[in-house]
Amino acid sequence: MVDFADGTTKAQFDAIESRWGIDLELADEEEGVDSAITVATGVSEEDEESLLELIRSNPDVEAAEPLMELKASFTPNDPDYGKQWNLKMINMPRAWDKSRGKGIVVAVLDTGIAYEDYDDFKQVPDLKGAKFVEGYDFVNRDKHANDDHGHGTHVAGTIAQATDNAAGVAGVAFEATLMPVKVLDAFGSGSSAAISDAIRWAADHGAKVINMSLGGGGRSQVMANAIEYARKKGVVVVCAAGNGGRGVVEYPAAYAGSVAVGAVGPKGTKAPYSSWGKELDVAAPGGDKSQGEEAGILQNTIAPGDYTKSVYAYYQGTSMATPHVAAVAALIYAAGAKNPDQVEKALFASAHPPAGQNGWSETYGHGVIDAEASIKALAKLEAEGDDALTVAPRIEVVEAPVDSSQIGAYAFGDLNWGPLAWAAGLLVFVLLTMGKTERPGFFNLLFKPAFAVPLVLVTIGMFFLRYFLAPSEMSVLWTLPIPEWLQKIIFGRGSLANPIVYSAAIPLLLSFIAIKLKAWRPVVGGLALGFAAILGYSAWAGAPALAWLPFTFMAIPFLVLNALVCLFIARAMLRTVKP
């Protein structure tokens, strides 16, 4: 393409072209008369450089360069794509022209995915058409890794939501394949043992990328080993840095071998909640709803408290930032990356530090990811070798290891201690509302197995069995709190929580027996207090959904009312026990 000085006529460049041995024609017969932009034909590749040098030396030529073919960037027809500011921030439209993640398996270790119609579980509409491989449920120990919380489905949607399907929203690597791996329960909690097993399982079953939008607890050597195992098998492990808004990157993001992801809002600045520190690798859109609801990350997921219904919801968190990075890692693998080192180099070298930042920082890592630039960076690696890109090494701060830790979408503890913590708070409330003459009996009860054992069984189950039995010898039912145990035994997994189980019905029935049999009163007191705690915790956590109720919103008032009834029963039982 040769651009002559404006006003150069066809007769003038026709007179010159014969000396150059080419044929020049106006690029546009009408506009070209003024612009004098021409296109040459008859140029061989071997003569191109020398010919360009000759043409550029002519004083009437303003510019001469190889003709390029450009095309429109892919724009999906999903109706709410325009609300996904996050995809534009990481340059997805241009990246989709180069890679869409085809053939790459991304394991989502989370609360599960609403990926199938099974029992009462329903696939969310915007995942219809997405690709899945068989996953596993490490909570219920079966092959149906369905979501009963909502967190995992939202995360999975960002990675590979069905796209260009004239419905809902788009996903980053929408031709990638999702592997649903449930490691967190309906309350968003799970053990480090299950997560460590799940990391190895995903690596052994074909995952090339693992997304863990979860964190908490201390350092686990077992989990660190699992991440190292996955990486050696060619898996990129991507983890959320944490939502504490402090200078501490949470585990598992802080382990060596994982990619630690912080969050930015629509303006590209660090989200207020996003943790930061020496182990941070990159930042990605995680949302900042302090700027408005639509400043969150929009995806299709299950309705809060009711996994039979679907909603489009704005979430925020480093949990939402992480799947952007996992999905771009899938794009890089699909574009030809051979190992995790290449994927991470392409990610880190192409990230954009914010204005004023020179290189890596504890706040943004290498910067905000750019999907298109990362694929270009990979091309440079392939053309020039692994030394073509240099990035600063990440730092792992090693703390004393712990045997196990509760990991969640930011829930902590070795088990789900939430209901037991609620029980402790309610015990304090009962103590404060008792008279001085009743308190000695109350304190005496705290150390009686007849009171303490039912309380523990209702709130956290027979957790101690896991320390004496191998996983193969232990049924998952044995370590469930009594309400969950009864729910699964009587009504089966995959059914909505039954109001008979999640109510004051059982303590109320047993209280009538205790009126006659005084020896039962400590037992019923502990049982009722445990039910009050787990019902109150369930209402606070927004789970579970209840069957039979005509409206979903009635579940929380129902749980609260029944928790108060249980608390009344517990207090009535306890105050009659003498020291």
**Torsion on CA atoms 195, 201, 205, 208, rounded to nearest 10:** 40
Q: Which two tokens stand for residue 356?
A: 């004023």
319 among known catalytic residues: yes
Calpha distance 61→4 (Å, rounded): 4
Q: Which two tokens stand for residue 461?
A: 């189950």
**Would you give the DSSP letter of residue 491?**
I
The answer to whether the beta carbons of residues 97 and 290 sit under 8 Å apart is no
Calpha distance 355→362 (Å, rounded): 15
88's enclosing H/E stretch is helix 85-89
Question: CB neighbours (10 Å) of residue 94?
Answer: 15
50 among known catalytic residues: no
110 among known catalytic residues: yes
Asked whether the CA dihedral 302, 303, 304, 306 is positive or negative, the reply is: negative
Residues of 246-262 as b/e, b for ≥16 C-beta within 10 angstroms?
eebbbbbbbbebbbbbb
Active-site pick, 192, 213, 310, 319: 319
Instruction: For residue 507, give the nearest of 485, 494, 523, 491 by alpha carbon.
Output: 523
Contacts of 373 (CB under 8 A, 6+ apart): 91, 350, 352
Calpha distance 532→541 (Å, rounded): 14
Active-site pick, 78, 110, 148, 185: 110
In order of 317, 373, 538, the CA distances from 328 in angstroms are 18, 11, 36
Calpha distance 235→228 (Å, rounded): 9
Active-site pick, 120, 144, 148, 151: 151
| Residues assigned a catalytic role | 110, 151, 319
